[in-house]
Structure 1
Amino acid sequence: MRFSKRKLQDVPVKNSSEIESNNLKESLEENFKSIQGIFKMDIDFSNKNFQIGGSIPAVAIFISSLVNKEIINRDIIKPLQEKEKETFINIEKGFLLKWLLEDVLSHSDGKIAPNFQTLLDGLLNGKTIVLIEGYKKALILDSFKPEKRGIQQPETERVVRGPRDGFIEQMQTNIALLRYRLPVPEFRVEQMEVGKKTKTKLSVCYLENIVNQELVEEVKKRLRNIHIDRILDAGYVEQFIEDNPKSPFPQVQNTERPDKAVGNILEGRVAIIVGGSPFVLIVPAIFNQFYQTSEDYNERFLITSIIRIIRFMALIFSLTFSSFYITVLSYHPEMIPAKFVVAASSGRAGVPFPVVVEVLLMEIAMEILREATVRMPQQVGGALSIVGVLVIGQAAVMAGFVSPITVVIIALSTIGSFATPSYNAANAFRLLRFPLIILSGCFGLLGLATGLIFIINHMLSLRSFGVQYLAPVTPGNYQGFKDSIIRAPLRWLSERPAQLHPQNSKRVAPGLKNGPTNPLQGNKGGNDDE
């Protein structure tokens, strides 16, 4: 019987839930009708009728927008069509599918599907389905054609010295970037699926001989407990697995850099790759990680330590400078040195607002400009930020709405927030500036101190997968201090972070901790001129 697509145009549309739990039938026409009824309205639903060995009717079904048609024609349909009819004589019917999969389609990655649910899942993931007349099972063959962009340096984590590759939206490419840097058999990549509608693939990556297995089980447990219809980016997963979702501080680190992800995996952490997202999640995360960069380990330790201290000071500076300015000017003018009293008082002459209102207005204006710069096209955003700050700041001073000193203070506070490498951590401190400004305007130095105490106390209470957020400060750990605010020489970083409780705590061989030798010092070798 010649299988004809033309006879199947007037097929009643069925809901996928009506057939996905059913088994396949021996009739090729009935099986095709059931699948076509689901995808009848989709323009990318395609099929190709052919005969295996010129005698057995079959049909290849695929979603044309997801597959590589060249693979289908060359590696699937052509080998099945060209197989001689005589070769089927000695093959029992129950072993035909297995024989086709293992011997005829030797270049295709596939399996045998027993029911409609498996067929639909494969079809929607870029597989080609081969239905054969007289069989209650079908072949599922890989023909997926991923659309992906090139591997480029991440825009959000640029470095001067370091690798230039970054994660992209394709999971297999991201796994390959990690395996390239971790060519060891202990590197594990376990796949999961989250999202009832999107069915987003997740990969949990870790080193089996280093990571604490309880941490791995906890990560997988939290991922399995995600019940939502969609996962469109790694940010969705981050919000479901963090310990305290109400906190402004991030408790899961994200990165676009493979070298940074590998460095954390080697310390005993777990990386989570989310399909369709260029950001890889790293757990557990502590506060120290958010002002450190991968470039810190590529430079000499003295330079890196100074830069880290500057970053940390800029972080504190951006959080408290505006509030401290309000406190001193409104409640404690005696703290201003005598040489600056005249400049401070003359600068505020004619300003109609209190200091706290003045600072709040300028902070809100800066946040609006920052948000507008991020959302505008790249060609316009840079010009908007420069012109906006210069024009608005100068106009506000000339009009007498704000004092020149306030503009300088707000500018320095904003620039300090840009020194934080982590965008989400910088956002937390940006938002916390506003309650501190209000507290300082209402209660002075007491309000500022109370606000800082609340922030520190909240950070002390935070956990990330059971790890204290402010480790190694609390609980105190001497080894941890070597790689926190400062970065000790690599020879001294002999142990992995203790708070992660890794199976193997040593990461530097004892011989590497010794200093270099000088083989040429006092060398009595012969003269080259002799």
Structure 2
Amino acid sequence: MWRRIAAHKKQVQQVPPDQVFSKHQDELFDGDLQKTIKFFEETLGMNDDFVIREIRVFGQYPAAVMYFSNLVNREVIAEDILKALMSGPTHIDGKKLKSRELKDVLIKDTIFFGELFLEHRLVKMAEAFFRGDTVVLVQGLDEAIQISTRNVEQRSVSQPQTEQVIRGGRDGLIESLATNITLLRYRLQTPNFRIKILTVGQLTKTKVAICYIEGITMPALVQEVEDRIAAINIDGVLDAGYLEQFIEDNHWSPFPQIQNTERPDKCVANLLEGRVVILTDGTPFTLIAPAVFSQFYQTVDDYTERPLMGSLVRLVRVVALTFSLIFPALYVAVIAFSPDLIPTKFAVAVAGGRAGVPFPAVIEVLLMQVSMEVLREATLRLPQQVGGALSIVGVLVIGQAAVSAGFASPITVVVIALTTIGSFATPAYNVATSLRILQFFFTILSGIFGLYGVMLGLILVTHHMLTLRSFGVPYLSPFVPGDWQGLKDLLIRAPLWWMSKRPKQLHPQNPERLGRETMDHFVQQPSHTLDPVHPRKLR
């Protein structure tokens, strides 16, 4: 007995996991209960959490209920499946039912579940076990009853961890695909909301949902997204980042061409513009395609505030983004090559601060940048209770120690500190990381060529961004190519009633998003209903 089990275990281990069921693709359930039980015992029976419960349906018909105990709600199985099958409805007491009649009674009178399917392929039944389904096999029936009884522990809906909310919804996406779809449907209550679910990963069987609005999103875009995802043949997908790396256009660019977010309101806003949202089971991050560069410094809060406030905050964010990219390079270029460009008193102060520093300006800045990146990474990886203290103490202690030891000048510490703070103002973490990479590129160019190196770096980065596309959409849209409607939402945020059309670069089927009567209303002069002298009266 033990030899047979050991031999079987060895045999299963020699077969690659993705090929265990491949040789049984064409096998069907023929009504032989014991033969089918033996099949599942051989393929899945070595798992201690796989349950095969043999019963008699209505006390007459041999049957088996199979499931993975840790993926299902066992109380529901006991009360609503096992008890219902063993007792049965009262109107069939003592009757001998034929196969067809028995199947109808089981489906229509006995099992009270909304999600119930009939399946005759053995491999599909096995795949259903891993999704948390329960399969009921009855002797003599040529189809199994597959019931959705999944019950996996999940965290509650909470505020997004990577995107701070100033004014807007406080709920964030979680790891459950069903919950995330619910959060989108809650905000998008239209029959035109469409969802296509694909399965990616030979071993993980990860569900991926492609969401879009029919009548707005261009059908060719939906088909392109579906084709790119369907072409992925990998053993496992553990996060939306796996999909992002496969479906983006330029895999070697430092700039992301697909946006990710944890906020359902942000997903709905992009759906309304004509984009596609990609949800992945098991991760709270969703992908938004296509994406252009301007999306990465915009936030939902820009639109919930009044236009002047939203525009001011956005301009500050753009300045901080530019500041964090080229400020160290400008400092190196001016100090090393063009000190005559700075005022005399300030130049004397800088020279006095750098008097004891043994390194050239470019080496000094690079060393400080590397130190800051190490400190930032350490802060991210440490436990939350310790990370905050390390970030404050580390900056103070290391900065002061570096100045005291003569490794860096005070002005260099200030420049790197301001650059780091500027990078924190970028809402998208992946773009902030891209800018940090480019900082080293600009610093090295400025250390070699001075201000000419800074200009050369700007030309190269701009040229690269002009060549980038996301699903065919130019990366610098709507600036290049120019679009007047899109320019209203580029550096400033125009009033909502000015932005009457959806982004032109997405080719939406319905370009209008604001009714004509709404636009006419805001053109008119406001009516002073409660004027203290001449209050308006009802007609």
Is TM (by shorter chain) over 0.5?
A: yes
Q: Look up the match of 1:4.
A: none
Structure 2 CA distance for aligned equivalents of residues 486 and 441 of structure 1? 34
Any gaps of 5 or more consecutive residues in structure 2? Answer: 13-19
Q: After superposition, give the CA deviation of every residue in 1:88-138 in whole Å (9 maximum; x if it has no partner).
A: 847432343243123321335211111211111111111111111223321
Query: Is 1:450 aligned to residue 460 of structure 2?
Result: no
Structure 1 CA distance for aligned equivalents of residues 7 and 104 of structure 2? 31
Aligned partner of 1:273: which letter?
L
Verify the 8 A CA contact 1:11 1:33 in the aligned structure 2: no
Q: Look up the match of 1:157.
A: 163
Q: Look up the match of 1:35.
A: 40
Q: Which moved more, 1:435-444 or 1:505-514?
A: 505-514
Of 422, 441, 459, 1:416 maps to 422
Counting only pairs closer than 5 Å after superposition, residues 87-126 of structure 1 correspond to structure 2 as: 89=95, 91-126=97-132
Any gaps of 5 or more consecutive residues in structure 1? Answer: 1-7
Aligned partner of 1:196: which letter?
Q
Structure 1 CA distance for aligned equivalents of residues 154 and 218 of structure 2? 34
Q: Which moved more, 1:92-101 or 1:8-17?
A: 8-17
Q: Look up the match of 1:217.
A: 223
Query: Is 1:54 aligned to residue 59 of structure 2?
Result: yes
Task: Measure how far apart 1:79 and its partner are.
Answer: 1.3
Of 505, 509, 513, 1:503 maps to 509
Q: After superposition, give the CA deviation of every residue in 1:471-502 in whole Å (9 maximum; x if it has no partner).
A: 01100111111111100111111111010110
What's the C-alpha RMSD, in Å, of the aligned pairs?
1.9
Q: After superposition, give the CA deviation of every residue in 1:451-470 in whole Å (9 maximum; x if it has no partner).
A: 11100100010000110100
Query: Is 1:384 aligned to residue 390 of structure 2?
Result: yes
Aligned partner of 1:248: which letter?
P
Q: Secondary structure at the match of 1:402?
A: coil
Verify the 8 A CA contact 2:218 2:274 in the aligned structure 1: yes
Query: Is 1:518 aligned to residue 528 of structure 2?
Result: yes
Q: Look up the match of 1:359.
A: 365
Q: Secondary structure at the match of 1:492?
A: coil
Task: Measure how far apart 1:17 and its partner are.
Answer: 3.8
Q: Secondary structure at the match of 1:248?
A: coil
Task: Measure how far apart 1:366 and its partner are.
Answer: 0.2
Q: Which moved more, 1:297-306 or 1:36-45?
A: 36-45
Q: Secondary structure at the match of 1:364?
A: helix
Query: Is 1:240 aligned to residue 225 of structure 2?
Result: no
Q: After superposition, give the CA deviation of every residue in 1:14-42 in whole Å (9 maximum; x if it has no partner).
A: 65444343122332111101101112221
Q: Look up the match of 2:299.
A: 293
Of 220, 232, 236, 1:226 maps to 232
What's the TM-score once normalised by structure 1's chain length? Answer: 0.95
Verify the 8 A CA contact 1:177 1:258 in the aligned structure 2: yes
Q: 1:88 to 1:426 in 2, by over 3 A?
A: farther
Structure 2 CA distance for aligned equivalents of residues 450 and 481 of structure 1? 27
Verify the 8 A CA contact 1:60 1:128 in the aligned structure 2: yes
Structure 2 CA distance for aligned equivalents of residues 473 and 17 of structure 1? 51
Verify the 8 A CA contact 1:67 1:145 in the aligned structure 2: yes
Query: Is 1:466 aligned to residue 472 of structure 2?
Result: yes
Q: Look up the match of 1:201.
A: 207
Query: Is 1:179 aligned to residue 189 of structure 2?
Result: no
Q: Secondary structure at the match of 1:397?
A: helix
Flag as ranges the 4+ runs of structure 1 deviating above 4 A: 8-15, 522-526
Structure 1 CA distance for aligned equivalents of residues 251 and 292 of structure 2? 15
Query: Is 1:77 aligned to residue 72 of structure 2?
Result: no
Q: Secondary structure at the match of 1:47?
A: strand
Aligned partner of 2:77: which letter?
I
Counting only pairs closer than 5 Å after superposition, residues 287-366 of structure 1 correspond to structure 2 as: 287-366=293-372
Structure 1 CA distance for aligned equivalents of residues 290 and 6 of structure 2? 56
Counting only pairs closer than 5 Å after superposition, residues 260-299 of structure 1 correspond to structure 2 as: 260-299=266-305
Aligned partner of 2:515: which letter?
A
Q: Secondary structure at the match of 2:165?
A: coil
Of 26, 31, 56, 1:26 maps to 31
Q: After superposition, give the CA deviation of every residue in 1:255-281 in whole Å (9 maximum; x if it has no partner).
A: 100000000000111100001010111
Q: After superposition, give the CA deviation of every residue in 1:355-395 in whole Å (9 maximum; x if it has no partner).
A: 00000000000000000000000000011111111101100
Q: Secondary structure at the match of 1:491?
A: coil
Structure 1 CA distance for aligned equivalents of residues 96 and 48 of structure 2? 41
Query: Is 1:127 aligned to residue 137 of structure 2?
Result: no
